[in-house]
Amino acid sequence: MRIQNVFQTAFGRTKFKIQNYNSKFKIFKTFYFLLAFLTFNFYLLTFPTPALAQAATLSLSPSSGTFNRSCTITLDIRLDTAGAQTDGTDAILTYDSSRLTATSITSGNIYPDYPGNNIDDTNGKITVSGLASVSSAFSGQGSVATVKFTIKDNAPTGATQVKFDFDPSDKSKTTDSNVVQRGTASDILSSVVNGNYNVGTGTCAAAPATAVKGGQGAVSTPSGKTLDQLVDKTGKGPGTPELTFTLTIVGSVLVVLGILGLALL
């Protein structure tokens, strides 16, 4: 009888310890879940959700065609930001100055300021720099500028190109064409569409219609600054997407662990 009482007493103590342990463990799991939930919300409210990588495009319109000696070519420089908010764009074109003469640049309608439009006909280079206002970035599709060329009377016939100066392998390069994203100061230009043309000897055809609303007229500022001199493309601060993404991942992991803990309650 005494042995039975001893076993019952020992069993009762063990059962009490197990119940006490389970109670403490449930309290710990509940506390852990609440801590994870509050941590995640802190990161979510403190740091903005990072945007997905954007891929902007610059293109020439028309991008092909036959144009004859002594005639005019009118090319529209088009920008597609692919949904990104942009602070500005540098579009740098090169062309064969033995065939073409650049005569004018007409600023487009997507940016309010074009501080660095320039024609260097000796070296066959055109620079267009559009800058957004502090209060309003540009997102969408539109005309950066319209460029006019005259085909020389003695231009060699055959194929010729008007090309964007663009190096897709070096995003830190500041002397080529680029599109600067607002908030990150990063170059998001991913591709370009160059112009491939043919010089002929026939009569001049009607120039392709190019819709440019709100143009600012021809601008030539040989000493004007490019966008890279006005916007820091390499600066990174506490709100960069890399940091935000890392912190968001940490918060998300904590929430998942908290939910698993709650499921065990």
Q: What is the pLDDT of residues 186-198, one digit of tens each?
A: 999 999 999 999 9
pLDDT at 99 over 70: yes
Say if residues 163 and 94 touch (Cβ distance below 8 Å): yes
Closest CA to 201 of 67, 96, 63, 99: 67
Asked if residue 16 is part of any domain, the answer here is: no
User: In this predicted model, what pLDDT tens digit does every residue of 201-224 receive, in sequence order?
Assistant: 999 865 444 443 333 333 333 334
Residue 87 carries which DSSP code? Answer: E
Q: Which residues are CB-neighbours of 4 under 8 A, at least 6 positions away?
A: none
Closest CA to 118 of 228, 223, 227: 223
Residues 206 and 262 in one domain: no
Give the SS3 label for residue 253.
helix
Residues 126 and 30 in one domain: no
* Rounded Cα distance, 51 and 244, in Å: 10
Residues 119 and 246 in one domain: no
User: In this predicted model, what pLDDT tens digit does every residue of 74-83 receive, in sequence order?
Assistant: 999 999 999 9
Task: Give the tokens for residue 237.
Answer: 């601060």
Say if residues 164 and 191 touch (Cβ distance below 8 Å): no
Residues 137 and 247 in one domain: no
Residue 169 carries which DSSP code? Answer: T
Q: Residue 29: give the domain boundaries.
A: 25-48+239-265
Q: What pLDDT score was predicted for residue 171?
A: 85
| pTM (two decimals) | 0.62
Query: Largest alpha-carbon pair distance within the chain?
Result: 124
* Rounded Cα distance, 116 and 222, in Å: 8
